[in-house]
Amino acid sequence: MRRRKQKGLTLIELIVAFTIMLILTAMAVPLARNKVRAEHERELRYALREVRQAIDKFKDNCDMGYLGPHKMDANCYPETLEMLVEGVKLPGPEGKKMRFLRHVPRDPFTGKTEWGLRSDQDDPKSTSWGGQDVFDIYTKATQKAPDGTSYSEW
């Protein structure tokens, strides 16, 4: 009679409840990690595309002569990423500037705006920048994508 009036859970009920919670948590953690990694990959693709398009626009405008005379060793590529943000002063009396990026995007894997740079004279797989111009960028992250490729090869 006395036991029926007592409220609460038995030890076995608590163990079963905690076991179920543990199993659900163990299933949710990898899903959350995959979701975060997929978001970082999406941001990386977007940032790489944005900067590469800006480099291509700079090159096209330079080749057409809109940016005035250029350095012979730069092959009409920007000297730095900051040059794309600060802009290039157009020839003429107005002194207008043409900008190609609002800001250098943040690398989602490193959390910094520092990117690996490649010159058009560098080896395509090189991780050291020759310093002549900025032909391409890559992430400095060392992680690998699920397909086994390094993020720095994207």
If DSSP states are collapsed to H, E and C, what string results for 75-86?
Answer: CCCCCCHHHHHH
Q: Are 79 and 133 in contact (CB under 8 A)?
A: yes
The pLDDT tens digits for 61-111 are 998 888 877 776 668 899 899 999 999 888 877 878 899 999 999 999 999
- Number of domains the chain is built from: 1
Residue 5: inside a domain, yes or no? no
pTM comes to: 0.77
Within a domain: 125: yes
Is residue 87 a part of any domain in this protein? yes
**136, amino acid identity:** D
Q: What percent of the chain has pLDDT over 90?
A: 46
Provide the 3-class DSSP secondary structure of residue 139.
coil
Asked if the structure places residue 95 within a domain, the reply is yes
52 in any annotated domain: yes
Question: What is the structure's pLDDT at 46?
Answer: 96
